[in-house]
Chains A and B, each alone.
Chain A
């Protein structure tokens, strides 16, 4: 067993503190990488892949996902932060810089020979207090209010995109969510589909109260635009399939062979005829049309039959779209065509196909119950589309969180300023060295408003003092990133999400104190060759 454990350095006592310093420097390093991206005025990062792909982003989650992180401690922090994103959809950067700051603040005390355990205890106490304070600080609101949701979504989107683009998307995000929101049912974000189109300039995104399928009809003669349509959604194979068993065609000449293939195809053709009959039955006046959307394949012969009957048919629809189609248009998805009745059909006012270069899109609009919708992102190039897509995802999550939290937290660093003051009061009630941990935690809280100020081009200390003075007067204040002055987040409509903050201040102290309590890094297993744990001096 001993041979399996190889120490990272020489096992002398002088190296005791080294692991700790290593961890702290990793935390700080990751913090310094992500710090500049926080807030609406943060800067961007450009990621270049080995193949020359370019990605511009300031989304902490995207960065952590794409960056090559070599240091094991940094990877650990990154994992906590991405877990944050998985749960709440936002706050990755906040999480990383808070962890970094917690480590940085404790470094000061550690150098004065305070045992890490004491600081960790202080963190624990402070964490409890902050979470309690968060519950007091939150503001219960009717979160289905459109204006409020707009503010939330705007706050989130503006940190990721330019103001103009963000404002436009804000409306779409909120409308989309209000559209799919139903009483007593959890919000299902899958009901909002995002589609991308490389087309024209950005700022052309639109919300479609219906569906967009990313493929079109595969027959040149099919109608391109239909109004007042019956929609048949089905999961029936309309393809000539080879038999599974060992069966062979035996034929003498060409004619026999084609006759036999026709015979094989008869079954499929029969199914097609059934659909066409139904079409003729329901479309009794010429203004009515018929659309078939199939999850399975449709082969060219069937497509041809449909085209002759004037039916618009698409094959291989996305499985999730099948649910959404029946939800939106009504009707039921058919798994067999035996009991095909007009009741099974859904309805849409408009179905049309649009071709963009290589891609085809089918739009289904004017549906009865638009409980599902599509946000169509248009952008001039790939990286813009990617950027908008990532931001949109965050915006949706932000609005969703708020609707579910049923409360808001004033943004712009307002919570952190207030929590700092609260912790200072709490510190007085604690006796002993644990105090220091609480102090470190309180200082670390301020990193968010500090970074906001720094990224907006103001002096961080100056700004913080201004904010604290204003808070001492009894106002709730956040930082105005444009003027650098204190502002009222409620007036400005800048809000944070309750669940995000809760998650940040719950998880970051835990990981920080765990890192503090590490006294040695040991290589385990021989698979770790070429590890990035730095070797100590031999």
Chain B
């Protein structure tokens, strides 16, 4: 008996929508895979998707239960019904001539975006830098859940017209907007607030057994503020429901170049976001908070982030994040584990001052390279020497992780999710048998448990782990060619002295990418991030480095206190 537990997804911000597009493409592929191979669903599709009324003559159509926020300009060629508008003729260059005299307004916009071309195998889509997330989205969204923020609203800020920036560079990386602007934007715009709250209510009205929200949010610019407003509403209206937040920030060149103002802005926005979502004074806006970034904000440490040294496009980086999130949330989405979103959250964050977790992930995974050697009929499995959290093949998706080798920090709670692992070598077994599947599950999770216990005992500080869960599914992470960028394990390449770089990408490396291990942990590793954020925040407010910032002494102290409170929770 699998009770259908509906989950509503909320995507706030442009980069999160890039992640979201990949995420939904992955879901679609998961579904298609089971259909194709005629095997039972290992991932429950009805959890995330809604169906329209079956009385419709076109048959049932599935769309995600999704509430999405973005600027109107960033929707690209997606129309208000959630479909991507495919243009047939490319002869629209003449359209520009229609723009009105004196360049005050642009009346006729030409179709924006260049939708992905999947059938042309000559183009390697992972090299393309897509401007809009709708360009490569493979499914239809539900038009009602799309909340577009008119660009004209942005001009209400502080006099200078910031919207011109956004026009020029699509979704620009750094536009000088702060957390407060987002709060103000929703507060001052009644219609927008009404629209999203009503939409959300309708989405939830459809659910029979509604379990919680998973939110992908941007921490940059105004999105942090908008997220706070939205989550406040959730708390207000749907208080008992679980809320998990994956907060990400996109790749920014100015941060790689150590441009101070850009870093300051990011620190400020993140500090405010964290304070309002998981701080002491905020009740429980987010039950679980996972900060994600595709680049290091500060000094680069040994643990490079996924792909960030290879391809830095939004298309590529967001794909890596999406794949990791997809795997790491198997805990509540897999069909063979009777868990739901709230137990997932409870599992990871047992106390109220430790609600931040970090995510690391590894793909494509070569189990033998990682140190796993196991044959089905041999009883002596071989394990890697390193514990998982400091294994060189695991890539962290957090803004900064430091001193991973010197400190001994066993995570307090952890969830390891594995998909598509193949430990059996050639001895492929028929996977159609349900009993066999469950049997395999337990073999793999026992194997991993052994490995984790042993390695933690050898390396860790001896503290026992409060909660551990290993969930795995057999279904590999397989995307059709050109539907998804090629994922490359950056550490892998470094080990090979970059000789095989080209070979890896060109031939046959794709088959390896169907195994993913992700590791969600609530551990003290995050403390370096918290420390930096709180030091940075203090510095910003004391030296008044951000010019636009109007510092309210009380709220500044409160934020600082909250950040310290969080930091205390993660340092013994």
A529 close to B165 (CB less than 8 A): yes
Q: For the complex, is B207 an interface residue (Cβ under 8 Å from A)?
A: yes
Binding stretch for chain A, among B154-162, B531-539, B564-572:
B154-162
Assembled-state Cα–Cα distance A11/B209 (Å):
67
B204 close to A316 (CB less than 8 A): yes
Binding stretch for chain B, among A112-120, A131-139, A237-245, A453-461:
A237-245
Residues of B within 8 A of A342 (CB): none
Q: For the complex, is B495 an interface residue (Cβ under 8 Å from A)?
A: no
Chain B nearest CB from A74 CB (Å) reads: 5
Q: For the complex, is A284 an interface residue (Cβ under 8 Å from B)?
A: no
A300: nearest chain-B partner, CB-CB: B208
A74 close to B152 (CB less than 8 A): no
The contact of A74 among B52, B104, B107, B338, by CB within 8 Å, is B104
The contact of B164 among A52, A258, A299, A531, by CB within 8 Å, is A531
Interface string of A67-87 (1 = CB under 8 A from B): 111111011101100100000
Residues of A within 8 A of B101 (CB): 29, 32
Q: For the complex, is B102 an interface residue (Cβ under 8 Å from A)?
A: yes
Chain A nearest CB from B319 CB (Å) reads: 23
Q: For the complex, is A33 an interface residue (Cβ under 8 Å from B)?
A: yes
Interface string of B196-226 (1 = CB under 8 A from A): 0010011011011111000000000000000
A69 close to B77 (CB less than 8 A): no
The contact of B160 among A29, A257, A525, by CB within 8 Å, is A525
Given the interface pairs A51-B75, A51-B79, A530-B164, the reply to whether A67 lies near B107 with Cβ below 8 Å is yes
Q: For the complex, is A28 an interface residue (Cβ under 8 Å from B)?
A: yes
- Name A78-111 residues within 8 Å CB distance of B: 78-79, 82
- Name A300-339 residues within 8 Å CB distance of B: 300, 315-316, 318-319
Residues of A within 8 A of B374 (CB): none
Binding stretch for chain A, among B168-176, B292-300, B482-490:
B168-176
Assembled-state Cα–Cα distance A30/B112 (Å):
24
The contact of A69 among B75, B105, B204, by CB within 8 Å, is B105
Q: For the complex, is A2 an interface residue (Cβ under 8 Å from B)?
A: no
- Name A524-538 residues within 8 Å CB distance of B: 524-525, 527-532
Chain B nearest CB from A85 CB (Å) reads: 12
Q: For the complex, is B525 an interface residue (Cβ under 8 Å from A)?
A: no
B104 close to A26 (CB less than 8 A): yes
Chain A nearest CB from B181 CB (Å) reads: 13
Assembled-state Cα–Cα distance A296/B104 (Å):
48
Assembled-state Cα–Cα distance A246/B103 (Å):
61
Chain A nearest CB from B340 CB (Å) reads: 7
The contact of A51 among B77, B151, B163, by CB within 8 Å, is B77
A55: nearest chain-B partner, CB-CB: B80
Assembled-state Cα–Cα distance A72/B163 (Å):
9
Residues of B within 8 A of A466 (CB): none
Chain B nearest CB from A529 CB (Å) reads: 7
A215: nearest chain-B partner, CB-CB: B205
Q: Which of A67, A246, A382, A528 has the most CB of B within 10 A?
A: A67
Q: For the complex, is A358 an interface residue (Cβ under 8 Å from B)?
A: yes
Q: Which of B53, B104, B547 has the most CB of A within 10 A?
A: B104
Given the interface pairs A357-B53, A527-B175, A530-B168, the reply to whether A30 lies near B76 with Cβ below 8 Å is no
Q: For the complex, is B85 an interface residue (Cβ under 8 Å from A)?
A: yes
Given the interface pairs A51-B84, A72-B164, A524-B160, the reply to whether A30 lies near B105 with Cβ below 8 Å is yes
- Name B172-190 residues within 8 Å CB distance of A: 174-176
Q: For the complex, count residues of A whose C-beta is within 8 A of B.
A: 63
Residues of A within 8 A of B84 (CB): 51
Assembled-state Cα–Cα distance A76/B198 (Å):
31
The contact of A531 among B107, B134, B165, B176, by CB within 8 Å, is B165
B168: nearest chain-A partner, CB-CB: A530
Q: For the complex, is A287 an interface residue (Cβ under 8 Å from B)?
A: no
Q: For the complex, is B150 an interface residue (Cβ under 8 Å from A)?
A: yes
The contact of A299 among B106, B163, B208, by CB within 8 Å, is B208
A51 close to B155 (CB less than 8 A): no
Q: For the complex, is A65 an interface residue (Cβ under 8 Å from B)?
A: yes
B169 close to A75 (CB less than 8 A): no
Residues of B within 8 A of A242 (CB): 211, 340, 342-343
Residues of B within 8 A of A493 (CB): none
Assembled-state Cα–Cα distance A48/B164 (Å):
20
Q: For the complex, is A203 an interface residue (Cβ under 8 Å from B)?
A: no
Interface string of A35-61 (1 = CB under 8 A from B): 000000000010011111100000000
Chain A nearest CB from B253 CB (Å) reads: 13
A33 close to B342 (CB less than 8 A): no
The contact of B152 among A65, A241, A258, by CB within 8 Å, is A65
A242: nearest chain-B partner, CB-CB: B342
A51 close to B85 (CB less than 8 A): yes
The contact of B52 among A82, A358, A525, by CB within 8 Å, is A358
- Name B208-253 residues within 8 Å CB distance of A: 208-211, 237, 240
A51 close to B176 (CB less than 8 A): no
B104 close to A30 (CB less than 8 A): yes
Chain A nearest CB from B348 CB (Å) reads: 11
* Contact sample, A vs B, 23 pairs, CB 8 Å cutoff: A29-B103, A33-B105, A49-B72, A49-B79, A50-B78, A50-B85, A50-B112, A53-B79, A53-B80, A65-B152, A68-B109, A70-B103, A70-B104, A218-B208, A242-B340, A254-B1, A316-B201, A319-B237, A527-B162, A527-B165, A530-B164, A530-B165, A532-B167
Q: Give 15 A-B pairs besides A51-B75, A239-B210 with Cβ atoms closer than 8 angstroms.
A: A26-B104, A29-B103, A33-B104, A50-B75, A50-B112, A66-B150, A67-B107, A67-B152, A76-B161, A82-B152, A214-B202, A215-B205, A297-B204, A358-B53, A382-B80
